[in-house]
Chain A
Amino acid sequence: MGSWLLEPLAYEFMQRGLVVAVLVGVVCALVGCYIVLRGMAFLGDALSHAILPGLAVGYMASAGNPTSLFWWALGAAILSSVTISALSRDGRIKQDTAIGIVFAGMFALGIALISTMRSYAVDLSHFLFGNVLGVTSADVRLTAGVSLLVLLLIVAFYKEFLVLSFDAHLAKTLRLPARWLEILLSVLTAVAIVVSLQTVGVSLVVALLVTPAATAYLLTKKLRNMMVLAAAIAAASGIVGLYTSYYFNVASGAAIVLACTALFIAVWIAQKLRSSLRRQPVS
């Protein structure tokens, strides 16, 4: 082991950052598998932006206490996902239209609220771009608790989410509570997004949801393996990203997302090469 691996670990902020980056990566990757399989990346992106008014109100109400911001953001995300589900329920407004309306409306509300405040710039920028190296040990505990809860729910409802994602009509004819499962899944998405805010920020969180899951999707044809692989890819990207950030002084959130993206590109190219080699006639 080179000392360059151990050196950053001497700092407590690095230790905390690594724990949070790995936890958040795993949670996002697991929820992200369902998002990728159901073609819901737009919902993920929308929810991550729709929490902005929650952050703004939370900031005004609590002078920037991170735990309080977390709950306000979660409230805004859940409100948005339930509104989207209610708007598109009777089928007259398509779901992606409902997402567009709610997402833009909430984001605009957030910007409007922030523009009325004076000294927002520094503190809220952490939530826009992430600052995983700034997490406190209270943040680590909160992240760990919430991550564990999401993991438990994903394991507990594995069978139901599988049916719902594969065939929503089947879920209904099996008399599963399809609508409630749908809402639960989007609430879990909201939780995954909010818990990742400090790591990668509002603007990059969709990458944590989609990229590791998509990479895993290319590598396996079994859902369980896909979830395990996606989690491993996200955890590894979190670690690689933080070391990159430490040694090259790159913004930590961007470094983590770039690590995910690099892995995806590598796998995608490897598969293209392999399939074109296979197609080559043997002469």
Chain B
Amino acid sequence: MKSQFAKSGRIPPHPDSRFALELRNLNVRFNGLTVLEDLSIQVESGLRVAVVGPNGAGKSTLFNVLAGLLAPASGEVHIHGHLPAEYLCLAYVPQSSHVDWNFPVSVQDVVMMGRAGQLGLLRWPGSKDAAQVKQSLDQVQLSKFARRQISELSGGQKQRMLLARALAQEANLLLLDEPLAGLDLPSQEQILSILAGLKAQGITVLFATHDLELAGDHFDRILLLNRKLIAYGAQKEVLTVENLSLAYGGHMQVVETKEGKVWLGDIGGHHDHDEEGRHG
């Protein structure tokens, strides 16, 4: 069903959907391998969803499909009722290792890039765009660093800048790929509290992570993935021994301790082809 990604030249009238995201029987193949199989899910607007699963589970692939960077082999994807490649109000925050931090731009230049889609071709940013950039920087507490060269930022500041760029896109669906990787604890807390603040704006967040504890503590829903959908729901329903051993298989250990059950997944380690991620 590649045809749904073809440029139709006009955006079809979209059904008024309460779902930020609807997938029906999604199959994605990459380099001849099935990376995602028969994935069906409905995510309501305004939820914060942690996407968890082992390396190679297809988290980055799922994000690439949602962002319209990769076409599925079959199945349907609707984002607020639109086809991915036609939906503008979506922001993909890449892993910060994918960014060239020596590029000659300042923090506000990068955040202004988020305006390019709304502006359209051949138009220069105006005062409305400048205001949007300022507001986005305020929201991630980076206003003081607006004129700073991006190479001079700390790890946490870099990630917050990418988040501000996503906010400047006026996105209502945020895809965050391992945004806390390599950050110190205070920076992690800061980003999580910024994300919590987005709930009031009705922004839906999909957050790929390896950290099951984080997923349980800070998110409304957990999407447990390993090529197929293992489970989707609240923490209690999803993080069961049965589901986790289905997702992590032999790599998963459940250890009984005084404090309760501890799950040990295959965190870090080898990287499968699809977690190399951002092809295109």
A residues whose Cβ falls under 8 Å from a Cβ of B:
37, 91, 156-157, 159-160, 162-163, 165-177, 217, 220-223, 225-226
Contacts and interface: CB of A to CB of B under 8 A. Distances in A.
Contact of B110 (A91, A166, A172, A226): A166
Given A37-B104, A156-B122, A169 B85 contact: no
Contact of B121 (A168, A176, A222, A226): A176
Contact of B69 (A37, A173, A176): A173
Contacts of A166: 99-100, 103, 105, 110, 113
Contacts of A171: 116
The 4 closest A-B CB pairs, nearest first, are: A174-B117, A221-B149, A221-B104, A173-B92
Nearest to A222: B104
Interface string B79-107: 00000011010111010001110011110
Give the bracket for the number of chain B residues in contact with chain A. 35 or more
Nearest to B69: A172
Contact of A170 (B68, B86, B113, B119): B113
Interface of B: 67-69, 85-86, 88, 90-92, 94, 98-100, 103-106, 109-110, 113-114, 116-117, 119, 121-125, 149, 151, 165, 169, 278-280
Q: Mostly helix, strand, loop or mixed at chain A's interface? A: helix
Contacts of A156: 122
A163 B104 contact: no
Nearest to A181: B121
A91 B31 CA distance: 10
Contacts of B169: 174
Q: Mostly helix, strand, loop or mixed at chain B's interface? A: loop
Contacts of B100: 37, 166
B103 A163 contact: no
Contact of B122 (A91, A157, A170): A157
Nearest to A180: B121
Given A173-B68, A173-B91, A223 B105 contact: yes
Given A37-B103, A159-B125, A176-B116, A168 B280 contact: yes
A159 B92 contact: no
A220 B104 contact: yes
Nearest to A158: B124
Residue from B117, B165, B169 having most chain A Cβ neighbours under 10 A:
B117
A177 B124 CA distance: 17
Contacts of B123: 159
B68 A167 contact: no
A92 B83 CA distance: 26
A171 B94 CA distance: 13
Given A157-B121, A163-B113, 4 more contacts: A159-B125, A160-B121, A173-B90, A174-B117
30 contacts: A37-B100, A91-B280, A157-B121, A159-B116, A159-B123, A160-B121, A162-B105, A162-B109, A162-B113, A163-B113, A166-B110, A168-B280, A169-B69, A170-B165, A172-B67, A172-B69, A173-B91, A173-B92, A174-B113, A175-B68, A175-B85, A175-B88, A176-B116, A177-B121, A221-B151, A222-B104, A222-B105, A222-B106, A223-B103, A226-B104
A162 B150 CA distance: 15
B84 to A, nearest CB: 9
A124 to B, nearest CB: 39
Given A91-B280, A222-B105, A173 B113 contact: no
Contacts of A174: 88, 113-114, 116-117, 169
Contacts of A172: 67-69, 280
Nearest to A167: B99
Contacts of A226: 104
A169 B110 CA distance: 14
